[in-house]
Amino acid sequence: MSLFKGPMRNHLNGHKELTEHKEAVVYNPKTVYIPLFAGFDPNPKILVNVGDEVKVGTKLAVFEARFVVPVFSSVSGKVVSIEKRMHQNLKQADYIVIESDGKFTEEKNPTIDWEKASVEELVEFMKNAGIIGCGGAGFPSYVKYQGAKGIERLIINAVECEPFITSDYKAIESDLDTMLVGIRAMKKMCGAPVAEICIKKSHPELIAHVNEKIKGLDGITCREVPDVYPMGWERTLIYEVTGQRYDRLPAEVHVVINNATTALKFGTAMLTGMPIVNRMVTVSGDGVKNPVNVIVPIGTLASEIVNGPAGGYTSDKIIMSFGGPMMGGTVPNDDIAIDRQNNALTVQIDKGIDEIACLRCGRCSDYCPSGLQPVRINNVMKMNDMDRLGKLQVTKCIECGMCTYVCPSKIAVTENVRRAKRAYMAFGKK
């Protein structure tokens, strides 16, 4: 860890204007490819067979492992294939391929009255409805509420600090009432007296809209936070709100934190019985002709979204990221499907990199939100010294992209640290 901390955060050009004030559009493909990727469990128990008819919300697969939630169909139609395909994390995963009948006939899944239900019933409902973190992490949300004790604050993360992404803002605009149902239930589930919806202060219209809607709701407030990156990272946001840092989990500082779209999806599930079957995705960057927010069924291919509502590519040399340009994972092709946690596709023209030698300016350390020394990590990695990589706390890298962003020598610092982290973990160190 760096002894002399710099600002550890930075204002970035958001490019939010490309999509923020445009109407979101709906796009429904003929075929969906629903990923059964579920983190720790590579062996889903698939509940359907090729040829089966399914509805929107039909449960397709469950998992044995803890911290994994079921997967549901996003369209009505017929299962035409169960096959291995590349997931956006570049690993092979099982996919259920469904040809849509275009009717969107809905399964009748159970609903729940959050005011009457017990906390345990709500947690179980959240788990069975497959609610996961929709801001990019994809971690099952019920885990945060199971046995939650001593929680003083629920933070709803609507910061959206990465450039280009506006999907949370549009989701809030689209159905704030349902999101507030989700927030009130989450507040009950964790026992927090206060829920704070955090939005960057550079979005005054959205803040005014939220403030208007929460009038009279006990213990729910809207907090403006600075327009800096990575304000949406849990640790940065929790420090901003509480002034406290924690070691492993937000509960250590009496906080539960969830993303705004997650609250909306939980509200939808409680009111209608519908799990996460579709989502708002920002498609933006100079690599697409028509940056736009699109509501798509889970399992829609990136290629269809770009070539459909986003108007096609502006260049034949592009870089596509699932997520934002800072933390999103780049993919080698666009034949990859949207999963429940995907808030954005960022498409940028590949302008190449004119890298020069390190100037030893220290900017990468100054701005690292984890307090690391990326350039030292890189040097130690070249020497393959795993012990020193451990001392430099390489596993604390959150792959936020800041060190590359601030580097005047255009060095791919993040990529180097990421490689060092992977090597260290593969070496058996945690």
Interface residues with ligand SF4 (CB under 6 A) are 358-364, 368-370, 372, 374-375, 397-403, 406-409, 411, 413-414, 417
Least Cβ distance, residue 404 to ligand SF4 (angstroms): 7
Distance CA 16, CA 376 (A): 34
Contact between 58 and 48 (Cβ < 8 Å): yes
The owner of tokens 């255009």 is 410
Distances (CA, A) of 217 to 36, 173, 180, 184, 267: 38, 18, 9, 9, 16
Looking at beta carbons only, is 291 or 401 nearer to ligand SF4? Answer: 401
Least Cβ distance, residue 378 to ligand SF4 (angstroms): 7
Q: Which of 235, 225, 159, 157 is nearest to 398 (CA)?
A: 235
Which residues on neighbouring strands pair with residue 250, listed in sequence order? Answer: none
Q: Which of 265, 290, 287, 295 is nearest to 167 (CA)?
A: 295
Least Cβ distance, residue 420 to ligand SF4 (angstroms): 9
Looking at beta carbons only, is 6 or 311 nearer to ligand SF4? Answer: 6
Looking at beta carbons only, is 158 or 372 nearer to ligand SF4? Answer: 372
C-alpha Rg value of the chain to the nearest Å: 21
Least Cβ distance, residue 161 to ligand SF4 (angstroms): 13
Looking at beta carbons only, is 149 or 430 nearer to ligand SF4? Answer: 430
Q: CA 87, 92, 93, 96 torsion: positive or negative?
A: positive
Least Cβ distance, residue 10 to ligand SF4 (angstroms): 10
Least Cβ distance, residue 3 to ligand SF4 (angstroms): 15
Distances (CA, A) of 208 to 20, 90, 114, 203, 211: 15, 40, 27, 9, 5
Looking at beta carbons only, is 73 or 373 nearer to ligand SF4? Answer: 373
Looking at beta carbons only, is 194 or 412 nearer to ligand SF4? Answer: 412
Let me know if 132 is exposed, middle or buried by CB neighbors in 10 A (0-12, 13-18, 19+): buried
Phi and psi, residue 12, nearest 5°: -115, 155
Looking at beta carbons only, is 187 or 421 nearer to ligand SF4? Answer: 421
Least Cβ distance, residue 213 to ligand SF4 (angstroms): 35
